[in-house]
Amino acid sequence: MTGAADQKTDQTKNATVRKTLISWFRENGRDLPWRRTRDPWRILVSEVMLQQIQVARAIPFYERFTERFPTVDALATAPLAEAIRAWGDLGRYRRVVNLHRTARIVVEEHEGRIPADPEVLVTLPGIGPYTAGAVACFAFERDVPFFDTNMHRVLHRVYFGPEVPEPAAKRKELLALAAGLVPVGDGWAWNQAVMEFGALHCTARRPRCEECPVSGHCSAHPGMPGALAAAPRAPKREPADRYEDSNRYLRGRVLAQLREARAADGLELRDIQSRLRRDETEVGLPRLRGAVRSLEDDGLACTVPARDSDDSSPGRAVAEERAAYDARPPGGAGGEGLAGIRVTLP
Ligand code: SF4
């Protein structure tokens, strides 16, 4: 086949895949709150929340957060502690710190308007190429390419074949392909369609190839189910890797106690320990201090010496006690020297 004929075939395939997936999306796409709006602030909040978080879980958090902070200005003028409270226990707490910083930058440097240009968006805290492209496309209807895991998988399968045991195409190649596929004037529908198709139909482990509207144009068809069955599975996690034993879980529990405490002067470390015990989370003070320190490092908590602590030097507890997770404290195995620390939201 000549180069010109190849090109024509590609164009025909591209046009068919685009038309088919957009029409599939119109019939099967979920009615999600962030699909009913083009408000850049709401789109940004949804995209920040949705990274590695399931749609169904994110919805109530999105509703509550945007009710409390309906505009970028509302978040920019609120204390960070309020933003952390409104974030609730969605997890991935550094995101809310970054979102708060982004809101302030947007107000101070962009006249309160979320930028439409992905190259400007990507300079804001916590916004990577995916989020920048998604905001530009879903809020401003710009015909820009980008992809998340679902989109990556769909495009790889349709154009290069199964992504297992090893991907046949590099990320760069897929991005170039994605750029050529975005239909002029219909980028919103196309990007939503590919994303939704990957989430609901061409899923990672159980693609529905037998009833697939693009199977006739898919390079992975009909071998996809067989390739998945033959692909090595990730080893099962050992009990030691349980989420409840992780520092991520502990950070979330500590933040939950600080949010619920409400008092502006926070809680003493030992109070936090007692509250966690009531919630059936047993943790020693040194490990708890390590979790608090990592929250401080991420801008999610502050510490000061407790009011009745013998230590009268402000900040000394922070400056001198550099306990890592599970390290023994200077004052003894029980962590007595750590108890006189007060922890607050920032
Ligand atoms: S045929 Fe299978 S692998 Fe190809 S797009 Fe459809 S569901 Fe995905």
Q: How does pLDDT run across 157-172, given as a tens digit for each residue?
A: 999 999 999 999 999 9
The reply to whether ligand 1 has any atom less than 6 angstroms from the CB of 158 is: yes
215 lines ligand 1 (CB under 6 A): yes
Question: In this structure, are 281 and 326 located in the same domain?
Answer: yes
Ligand 1 pocket member 151 (CB < 6 A): no
Quick one: pLDDT at residue 52?
Answer: 87
The full DSSP string for 171-204 is: HHHHHHHHHHHSPTT-HHHHHHHHHHHHHHTS-S
Q: Looking at the structure, do residues 216 and 297 belong to the same domain, yes or no?
A: no
Closest ligand 1 atom to 221 CA: 1
Contact 325, 291 (CB under 8 A): yes
Neighbours of 130 (CB within 10 A): 18
| 321/281: higher pLDDT | 281
- Nearest Cα residue to atom 2 of ligand 1: 209
Q: Do the domain assignments include residue 2? A: no
CA of 158 to the centre of ligand 1 (A): 7
Number of domains in the chain: 3
User: Cβ distance 44 to 66 under 8 Å?
Assistant: no
Note whether 174 and 257 are same-domain residues: no
3 lies in a domain? Answer: no
What average pLDDT does this structure show over 90-102? 96
Q: 233 falls in which pLDDT band (50, 70, 90)?
A: confident
- Looking at the fold, whether 23 and 152 belong to one and the same domain comes out as yes
Distance 246 CA to ligand 1 centre (A): 36
Q: What is the pLDDT of residue 280?
A: 80
Burial class (CB in 10 A: 0-12, 13-18, 19+), 322: exposed
Q: Is residue 261 part of a domain?
A: yes
* Amino acid at site 91: G
- Residue 209 falls inside a structural domain: yes
Does some domain include residue 118? Answer: yes
> pLDDT tens digits, residue range 118-134?
999 999 999 999 999 99
Instruction: Indicate whether 55 pLDDT > 80.
Output: yes
CATH classification of the domain holding 184 = 1.10.1670.10
> What is the span of the domain harbouring residue 334?
243-344
| Average pLDDT value for residue range 84-90 | 95
Same domain, 190 and 170: yes
Q: Which of 24, 28, 218 to mutate to test the pocket of ligand 1 (most atoms within 8 A of CB)?
A: 218
Q: Which helix (H) or strand (E) holds 341?
A: strand 341-344
Chosen domain end from 172, 202, 230: 230
Domain membership of residue 105 (yes or no) is yes
The one catalytic residue in 27, 47, 119, 166 is: 47
| Predicted TM-score of the model (pTM) | 0.86
Burial class of residue 5, CB neighbours in 10 A (0-12, 13-18, 19+): exposed
Q: Are residues 265 and 314 in the same domain?
A: yes
pLDDT of residue 239: 60
pLDDT at residue 337, as a whole number? 62
Give the burial class of 244: count Cβ atoms within 10 A of its Cβ; 0-12 exposed, 13-18 middle, 19 or more buried: exposed
Tell me if 212 CB under 6 Å of ligand 1. yes
Residue 238 counted as domain residue: no
> What's the pLDDT band for 319 if we cut at 50, 70, 90?
very low
Q: Please, are residues 47 and 134 in contact by the beta-carbon 8 Å criterion?
A: yes
With cut-offs at 50, 70 and 90, classify the pLDDT of residue 4: low
Q: What is the C-alpha separation between 268 and 258, in angstroms, rounded?
A: 10
* Same structural domain, 254 and 330: yes
* CA 243 to ligand 1 center in whole angstroms: 33
Residue 236 lies in a domain: no
User: Cα separation of 257 and 276, whole Å?
Assistant: 8
pLDDT band per the 50, 70, 90 thresholds, residue 326: very low
In contact, 151 and 137? CB cutoff 8 Å: no
What CATH number should be reported for the domain holding residue 119?
A: 1.10.340.30
- Chain segment 10-23, per-residue pLDDT in tens: 899 999 999 999 99
Do 90 and 166 belong to one domain? no
What atom in ligand 1 is closest to the CA of residue 212? 6
Highest mean pLDDT among 199-213, 226-240, 329-343: 199-213
Co-location of 64 and 108 in the same domain? yes
> Does the Cβ of 220 fall within 6 Å of ligand 1?
yes
Percent of the chain past pLDDT 90, that is, above it, reads 76
Same domain, 83 and 134: yes
Among 230, 263, 293, identify where a domain stops: 230
Shared domain for 336 and 257, answered yes or no, is yes
Mean pLDDT of 180-187: 96
Helix (H) or strand (E) holding 30: none
Distance from Cα 198 to the centre of ligand 1, integer Å: 9
SS (H, E, C) 278-323: HCCCCCCHHHHHHHHHHHHHCCCCEEEECCCCCCCCCCHHHHHCCC
Residue ending a domain, among 140, 156, 187, is 140
51, two tokens: 């990274």
Please indicate, yes or no, whether residues 23 and 166 belong to a single structural domain of this protein.
yes
Give the confidence band of 6 by pLDDT, cuts at 50, 70, 90. low
Annotation marks residue 173 as catalytic: no
Residue 340 CA to residue 320 CA, distance in Å, equals 13
